[in-house]
């Protein structure tokens, strides 16, 4: 998932040659909340528009249930599905950091934030990241970059990722929790961080 330069929210693989037709634009009705950090102030964008004047933009999608059956996967909870085999609830978000002046932690579920200055990061440098859950540092969260898991956050929620190429970066944190057993067996939290590295 990523927010492009035109402030359009996409879902799928950013590398189009690997997308297999799965890339799509996310519509406003699929968005739960949009938050904007501007001049060190954080506010919710009630219209759910992705605004250009945000130092950091944070988008939370609507929660969704997926249940596997012998006949395929249905987008509904386990308790509403006949012949359910397994199910999960998906909670997803994406954050785009645009400059160094941003308030980055929004205290909204799983988040990835940048602890070094965006303007100082070049190809070959490390992006120093902080993983939080509801604003608190979270250990043991898997972090992937360039479609590969690079490691897990340490006891202080930190992990470093070396930037491989210029352009918009997609770094994704994910963790799985136990569901209620009625609507879902698992709850999968995932949050993507977008930063743009110019050189």
Q: Where are the domains of the chain?
A: 2-197
How confident is the model at residue 105, as a pLDDT? 85
State whether CATH 3.40.640.10 applies to domain 2-197.
Answer: no
Contacts 24+ apart (CB under 8 A), 3-6: 3/50, 3/57, 3/59, 3/94, 3/96, 3/194, 4/168, 5/168, 5/196
Which helix (H) or strand (E) segment holds residue 148: the answer is strand 148-152
Tokens representing 172? Answer: 């994704």
pLDDT of res. 12: 79
Token pair of 156 as six digits: 């202080």
The whole-number pLDDT of residue 17 equals 41
Q: Is the dihedral of CA 26, 3, 12, 85 positive or negative?
A: negative
Using DSSP's 3-state secondary structure scheme, residue 120 falls into helix
pLDDT tens digits along 113-160: 999 999 999 999 999 999 999 999 999 999 999 989 999 999 999 999
Which burial class, exposed, middle or buried, applies to 128 when counting CB atoms under 10 A from its CB (0-12, 13-18, 19+)?
Answer: middle
Predicted confidence at residue 40, as pLDDT, reads 81
Return the SS3 of 24. Answer: strand
Looking up tokens 């993507």 gives 192
pLDDT for 14: 56
pLDDT of res. 19: 39
Predicted pLDDT at 13? 62
Residues of the chain with pLDDT under 50: 16-21
Between CA 108 and CA 165 the distance in angstroms is 29
Distance from the Cα of residue 106 to its chain's centroid:
13
At residue 74's C-alpha, the angle toward residues 69 and 78, to 5°, is 70
- Edge-first strand order for the sheet with 24-25 is 2-3, 9-11, 24-25
């Amino acid at each position: 998932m990523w927010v492009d330069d035109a402030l359009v929210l996409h879902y799928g693989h950013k590398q189009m040659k690997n997308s297999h037709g799965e890339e799509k634009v996310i519509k406003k009705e699929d968005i739960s909340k949009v938050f904007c950090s501007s001049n060190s102030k954080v506010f919710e964008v009630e219209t759910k528009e992705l605004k250009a004047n945000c130092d950091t933009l944070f988008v939370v999608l609507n929660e969704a249930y997926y249940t596997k059956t012998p006949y395929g996967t249905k987008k509904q909870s386990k308790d509403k599905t006949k012949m359910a085999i397994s199910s999960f609830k998906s909670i997803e978000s994406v954050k785009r950091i645009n400059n160094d002046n941003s308030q980055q932690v929004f205290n909204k579920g799983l988040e990835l934030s940048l602890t070094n200055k965006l303007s100082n990061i070049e190809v070959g440098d490390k992006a120093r990241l902080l993983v939080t859950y509801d604003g608190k540092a979270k250990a043991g969260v898997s972090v992937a970059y360039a479609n590969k898991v690079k490691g897990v956050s340490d006891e202080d929620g930190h992990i470093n990722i070396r930037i491989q190429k210029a352009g918009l970066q997609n770094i994704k944190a994910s963790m799985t929790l136990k569901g209620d057993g009625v609507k879902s067996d698992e709850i999968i939290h995932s949050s993507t961080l977008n930063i743009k590295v110019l050189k």
